[in-house]
Amino acid sequence: MSQPQGALDDEVGPTPLTIGRRVRSLRQARGMTVAQLGEAIGRAASQISVIENGRRELRVSELRTLATALGATLDDLLDPEPPSRRDALELELQRVQEGPLFASLDLPRLAVRRSLPDEAIETVLALHAELVRLHERRASTPEEARRANTDLRGAQRERANYYPELEATARELLGAIGHGGGPLSHSAASSLARHLGFSVHYVHDLPVTTRSVTDGRHGRIYLPIRHDGGDRRVVLLQALATSVLGHDEPDGYAELLRQRVEANYLAAALMMPEDSAVELLVEAKAARELSVEDLRDAFSVSYEAAAHRFTNLATQHLGLPVHFLKVSASGVLSKAYENDDVRFPQDALGNVLGQRVCRQWSARQVFERDDRYGIYHQYTDKPNGTYWCTSAVQTDAGGDFSVSVGTQYAHSKWFRGRDTTTRRYSSCPDPGCCRYPAPELEDRWDEAARPSARINSSLLAATPSGSATGIDRVAVYEFLEQHAPEARP
Q: Which fold has domain 318-435?
A: Beta-Lactamase (3.30.450)
Q: Give Cα separations from 253 to 1, 149, 213, 235, 249 (angstroms).
A: 35, 9, 20, 21, 11
Q: Distance between the two ends of the chain, CA-based, in angstroms? A: 66
Q: What is the DSSP letter of 116?
A: S
**What are the tens digits of pLDDT across the range 199-245?**
998 888 777 777 888 888 888 888 888 655 567 889 999 999 999 99
At residue 478, does pLDDT exceed 80?
Answer: no
Q: String of b and e for 231-240 (b: at least 16 CB within 10 Å)? A: bbbbbbbbbb
Over residues 95-143, the pLDDT tens digits come to 888 887 887 777 888 887 778 888 988 898 888 888 877 765 554 455 6
- The answer, yes or no, to whether residue 7 has pLDDT greater than 60, is no
Q: pLDDT tens digit string along 453-465? A: 655 544 444 445 5
- Where along the chain do its domains lie? 16-138, 140-271, 318-435, 439-483
Instruction: Report pLDDT for 489.
Output: 52
The contacts of residue 411 (CB under 8 Å, 6+ apart) are 320, 321, 340, 388
∠ Cα 158 164 170 (to 5°): 140
Supply the DSSP string of 132-187, one letter for each residue: HHHHHHHTHHHHHHHHHHHHHHHHHHHTTT--HHHHHHHHHHHHHTT--SSPPPHH
Per-residue pLDDT for 362 more than 90? Answer: yes
The tens digit of pLDDT for each residue in 342-355 reads 999 988 777 888 88
> Is residue 161 a contact partner of residue 315, using CB atoms and an 8 Å limit?
yes
* Confidence bin at 469 (pLDDT 50/70/90): very low
pLDDT for 405 beyond 70: yes
Architecture in CATH for domain 140-271: Orthogonal Bundle (1.10)
- What's 16-138's CATH class? mainly alpha
Would you say the C-alpha torsion 116, 117, 118, 121 has a positive or negative sign?
A: negative
Q: What percent of the chain has pLDDT over 90?
A: 40
Return the half-sphere exposure (C-beta side, CA atoms, 13 A cut-off) of residue 200.
Answer: 24
Average pLDDT rounded to a whole number, residues 428-442:
86
Distance CA 80, CA 91 (A): 11
pLDDT value at residue 159: 93
What distance in Å separates the CA atoms of residue 352 and residue 347, rounded to the nearest whole number?
7
